[in-house]
Structure 1
């Protein structure tokens, strides 16, 4: 868990630039090395993940980014050029391999002097690193706050009368890399990883970003996953084509949650129009893992062209109902049971615009439920979910 610096922000950005909408018209999808491989990731692991995205059908389902997270970095030479370490012999060759599979290449750095893992960050080398990324064929940069928080703490201490000093320093640091990426002329999706510090959903577009973390790190546990997921209530107005809230990567397939819990995870993320970045070992997926990650109907909710993030309709104790507007007048509905017992969860169709009734489709059962009017109720197992498409 990284340390969070509590700040405030009053900048409001209402629309994403055209270049952002082109880069991320829909929530980005792909795979990231961190959740499973962490600091042990190698060139071979990443190439294997690219192969598996193709052979499993995940690429064709929309998972196109292959992102190398922290610990790929080696040392800078006398000219300041950053070289990869012994686990990554040739990043340009790795990028070429990923591109040969019809996939996109992602990488990781930090605005600080060091990354979370203690490797070289981009502080003072922003333009140099951005140029290098473009030469390598990078398509995605995850930029992680990490050690830059010490710079922010110093700035705050040095300017005790300016409550915005640390915030302004952070935003300037993220903008510096955003400008450097833009200057390369290569379209590189810019992902801010700063754990929701200072409400990035309000200023992320101004630094050239297409997505930004809204929370601290996820882990492969039901409690952490639902804490993060349900904390996204109220953020829907800040998301849309070219600018997406990011509640962190998927843990589906890492083995510490049940099937119902992983379905809850995937359901909540697609209702949130969240980026879908798988974080598991793709070579060891069960059929259940594949069915969750590659559910065409669930992915279609996330990628719906209307580009709306869902939000909470109501909460009653351990029961939640969330809705997401979809194209063609449809609505996605998630009924969630966070309790440890079987519970009935209901939604009044009139509350979501269907006073005269609607047709219901159960996504995980892959079953049409027919025409319903009034209140729809389903009995859910502990930590279970029913994900519906409601249409006239």
Structure 2
């Protein structure tokens, strides 16, 4: 399913201006993890995408040496991580044991070797009774395994989600247990939550881990890479220094995509402020792949200390997009102009879409070619190769967002929101989500009942209003629109000033319509959020008869 949209970036810019407030919409209910780690997205290497189970201590040592000698370490790659298949059994005391055939010296010796090279070491386990490759998992051994990893000197722990469904584990509960086990070990370790998006980890990940997978596993092809990027960026507002949306490890250099596509892959991961965990063989990579993985100007964007994830700010509904990431210095943006089509195309980044002052001058530098492109007024246009990107840094004048319109008594679909994004097409007024184009929806229909008023969206969706402390109540009827029949699975949530006021639980196409009635007295900002329990196919959701009562 191809995602297309056009976003008024001044609405997005308003979000960034109030970033410290809006990021708390889901975080005020508990304190953040705040373990002092991963203040910028982690960078490192993991063997799974290239080697799978065919891994050994000898390979890990050789790749450690290669990363030191080939400039990857100098570029910022610091974690050498194991994935599945290093473990084989437990001893009589329940201690996890490495496979003696492939790791004859044991993990502690390998950790020491990696540390001796100035790098850090990461390890893998699963929350279930077994790992994904049916090696021993950590269920009921969380504290013991965390203590073992700490004794070995491990710096990073990835916890997968295999063999959990058969025993009915809850992701948030289980990963919170792991968080506490790591804390109890006494050793700071980056904590990677790898539930593949199950349990909606972006909603609670900030209080639990340093990164959380938002999607299924990546595959080494163009379609998979774009699908994952599309799903990941919609969770941008949940990430910040110390906690990141994780769209999975990099496939750059593994052979399934062209060099142009790999450059696009890396650019999108950087613009989304995603962890950069290389998954290739650094011992044998080409000079071209090395240039992608170690480009200092692109990595400088990845390491920007503000840690604000980028997102799509313009889309032509036909495969051309502009992605933008606000950098720490006012007036600076990292911008990716993406051509998803099979033909070369000219793409334009307008200053207003980027949140820069319209009509002003700005300098533009190409980060991949490391070339200054000149001074441009109001916009920048460039020809982009098929499946390619042009990634630039634009330095201009910060724009001033317009005042946010305040809600008054009446239907919200007839009023102005200050921010809106939608996974499939646009947020629709007084009609269902429909298809990709604006205003292509149908009459809102829930369980056979039609509604003339309402907001039609598709998970993942986020619509925000300014209340100015003047409103009293919000009400709506919610459910999956009849246009998708019995398909779809969504969760409706309402937030105001950092407090969750409503959660529908998972609703399917055949779930009875639910009624929302919440008190919004004295609240300033108000958020209608729709997420998905698993995949986002057919997740057409309606806020029917959505209205506010105000002073």
Decide: shared fold, TM above 0.5.
yes
Higher relative contact order (CA 8 A, sep 6+): 1
Unaligned stretches of 5+ residues in structure 1: 1-10, 153-165
Match of 1:246 in 2: 246
Q: Say yes or no: does 1:142 pair with 2:143.
A: no
Report whether the alignment pairs 1:184 with 2:197. Answer: no
Q: How many residues align?
A: 365
- CA distance in structure 1 between the aligned counterparts of 2:45 and 2:166, rounded to whole angstroms: 30
Distance 2:73 2:245 in 1: 22
Q: 1:289 to 1:315 in 2, by over 3 A?
A: same
Counterparts in 2 of 1:9-24, with a 5 A limit? 12-14=26-28, 17=32, 19-20=34-35, 22-24=36-38
Which aligned segments of 4 or more residues in structure 1 are displaced greater than 6 angstroms?
none
In the other structure, the counterpart of 2:235 is 235
- Give how far 1:231 is off: 2.1
Q: Check conservation: 1:16, 1:241, Cα contact below 8 A.
A: no
How far does residue 234 in structure 1 lie from its aligned partner after superposition? 2.5
1:206: how far off?
A: 2.8
C-alpha separation in 2, matches of 1:19 and 1:147: 29
Rounded to whole Å, the distance in 1 between the matches of 2:250 and 2:353 is 30
Partner of 1:261: 261
Query: Highest CA radius of gyration, 1 or 2?
Result: 2
1:16, 1:243 within 8 Å by CA — same for their partners in 2? no
Equivalent runs, 1:4-43 vs 2, <5 Å: 12-14=26-28, 17=32, 19-20=34-35, 22-43=36-57
Q: Is 1:63–2:74 an aligned residue pair? A: no
Change (3 A) 1:133 1:144: same
Deviations 1:191-228, CA, capped at 9 Å, x for gaps:
00111112201111333x11000110011111111111
What are the superposed Cα offsets for residues 40-85 of structure 1, whole Å, 9 maximum, x if unpaired? 1111111111111100011111100000000101111111111101
The alpha-carbon deviation at position 345 of structure 1 amounts to 1.1
How far has the Cα of 1:19 moved from its partner?
Answer: 3.5
Indicate the residue corresponding to 2:270 in structure 1: 270
Q: SS where residue 135 of structure 1 aligns? A: helix
1:142-192 Cα offsets, whole Å, 9 max, x none, are: 00011112222xxxxxxxxxxxxx6xx321111111111100110011000
Match of 1:308 in 2: 308
Q: Residue 346 of structure 2 aligns with which residue?
A: 344
Give the TM-score normalised by structure 1: 0.91
Where does residue 354 of structure 1 map in the other structure? 357
Could you tell me which residue of structure 2 aligns to residue 5 of structure 1?
none
Q: Residue 320 of structure 1 aligns with which residue?
A: 321
Give the superposition deviation at 1:13.
2.4
Q: CA deviation at 1:18?
A: 6.5
Deviations 1:12-45 (A, max 9, x none): 325863633x211100000001010111111111
Per-residue deviation at 1:95? Answer: 0.1
TM-score normalised by the chain length of structure 2? 0.65
Choose between structure 1 and 2: higher helix proportion.
1
Segments of structure 2 that go 5 or more residues without pairing to the other structure are: 1-24, 397-551
Residue pair 1:113, 1:147 contacting (<8 A) in 2 also: yes
Match of 1:371 among 355, 369, 375: 375
Q: Which residue of 2 aligns with 1:211?
A: 211
Give RMSD over aligned pairs. Answer: 1.4
Q: 2: distance between equivalents of 1:319 and 1:151?
A: 45
Quote the Cα distance in structure 2 between the aligned partners of 1:190 and 1:233: 21
Higher strand proportion, which one? Answer: 2
Tell me whether 1:386 sits opposite 2:402 in the alignment.
Answer: no
Find the aligned partners of 1:249 and 1:175 in 2 and give their Cα distance. Answer: 23
Q: Does 1:47 align with 2:61?
A: yes
Question: 1:112-151, aligned counterparts within 5 Å?
Answer: 112-151=128-167
